[in-house]
Amino acid sequence: MKTVLVDKNGTVSVAEIPKPKYGPKQALTKTIANGICGTDVHLMKRKFKGVPESEYPIMLGHENVGEVVEVGSEVKGLKVGDKVLLPFLDADREYLGDYGSAWGACSEYCVVNDPLAFPEGEVPDLAKAQCIIPDDIDPVDAVMLVTFGEVLSNVHYFGIEKDKPVVIFGCGPVGLTFIKMCKLVGANPVIAVARNPEKQKNALDGGADIALNSSEVDVTAEVRKLFPGGVPYVIDAVGSEQVVNDAMGLICDRGEICCYGVPTQEEMHIDFSKADYNWVLNFQQMPRKDEEAVAHEEVFQWIREGKLDMKEFISDYFTFDEVVEAYQKAFDKKIQKKGIVVYK
């Protein structure tokens, strides 16, 4: 089978490897689609925390939807034909080749766990979010469920409340998802901060009540006109030291800066001279899988009710033959929203 690799120089390629082995409590999946994420770009730049250079070349991809094609002997909750979220491919240097894995899901076949096959208290953390996708949800666009579950679980974790204002920096796929999820939980107003007119329009089309173009206006002045005392929540969906410091001038007493975007550096200078005396800086960059699992049920309901349209968040579809080009486009910031690689 084929898998997508990136080497330590950031070069993406396709390699031929064996189909993965799977255990008695697992199933083999054939990939339907895989999303390209900002995390992949960080990995291409060798700037993702916890993945050292010694692991490269690594197998890329983590936003996977697959179809179960074989099941282990102890599997209880999965059957052949089920569509599942988040199958992965772990490294196995003796069997698969001398490759590390950054979840490895941009592969033709992956492996998924069956939570029902494990004794209580022994379910692997990842398995909690590896859910079966309902038949009424398109399995290709269902790649978006990964981002939806991660973002919504963090909206709840950050404590964003009905009728409370929130400022969101970033209008890429993650930022647009934060805009939508904050609106769906009742935050008001949702104020988006974009860097160009195109992303400003995307934010308004995506449900933001107000969208500010930071290249044209003083964001702090505009927000303070609306809320002289500051706002309770600012979300950094970019991963930027500058955003964190700009947010210091926006939050109210005991306001919270919620950092979801992954910074390119592992240290930053914080200038809180413009902040109130009491504030919270909350980094949440590896969503909890048990919380994602709870969020999925809410997401499924919103999709069925027509409140959430997966296609609104997708800008590009690629065939697997175009996968190297697709990752390069993501690296070059030429994918406006979500890019999805569709397998045959």
Could you give the C-alpha distances from 300 to 156, 159, 304, 306, in angstroms and in order?
A: 16, 21, 6, 10
Q: What is the 3-state secondary structure (H, E, C) of 120-136?
A: CCCCCCHHHHCCECCCC
Q: Residue 154: its pLDDT value, please?
A: 96
What's the pLDDT tens digit per position in 37-60? 999 999 999 888 889 999 999 999
**Statement: 2-133+312-342 belongs to CATH 3.20.20.20:** no
249 within 8 A of 220, measured Cβ to Cβ: yes
Q: What is the C-alpha to C-alpha distance for residues 66 and 83, in angstroms, rounded to an integer?
A: 6
The dihedral through the CA atoms of 300, 304, 309, 314 has a sign that is positive
Hey, do 2-133+312-342 and 147-283 end up sharing a CATH topology, with the first three levels equal? no
Q: What is the pLDDT confidence band of residue 263, given thresholds at 50, 70 and 90?
A: confident
Beta strand pairing status for 58-59 and 2-6?
antiparallel
User: Looking at the domain 147-283, which fold is it?
Assistant: Rossmann fold (3.40.50)
Amino acid at 300: F
Instruction: Give the separation between CA 6 and CA 4, rounded to whole angstroms.
Output: 7
- Give the torsion through C-alpha atoms of 47, 275, 258, 232, to 10 deg: -170
Domains of the chain, by residue range, sit at 2-133+312-342, 147-283
pLDDT above 90 for 264 = no
The region, left, alpha or beta by phi > 0 then psi within -120 to 50, assigned to residue 103 is left
pLDDT at 265: 76
Flag whether the pTM goes above 0.85: yes
Q: What is the pLDDT of residue 50?
A: 84
- Check whether 180 has a pLDDT greater than 90: yes
Task: State yes or no: cis peptide before 57, omega within 30 of 0.
Answer: yes
- 195 pLDDT higher than 90: yes
Nearest CA-CA partner of 145 in 309, 344, 336, 326: 309
Average pLDDT (275-290) is 92
Which residues, other chains included, contact 203 with Cβ-Cβ below 8 Å and sequence gap of 6+? 171, 175, 176, 179, 192, 194, 211
Residue 262: the pLDDT is: 79
pLDDT for 286 equals 84
| Whether residue 205 has pLDDT greater than 90 | yes
Q: Dihedral of the CA atoms 198, 202, 208, 211 (nearest 10)?
A: 0
Residue type, 344: K
Cα 265 to Cα 48, 139, 168, 174: the distances in Å are 9, 35, 21, 19
- Which percentage of the chain shows pLDDT scores above 70? 100
Is pLDDT larger for residue 263 or for residue 229?
A: 229
Q: 102-144: per-residue pLDDT in tens?
A: 999 999 999 999 999 999 999 999 999 999 999 999 999 999 9
The length of the chain in residues reads 344
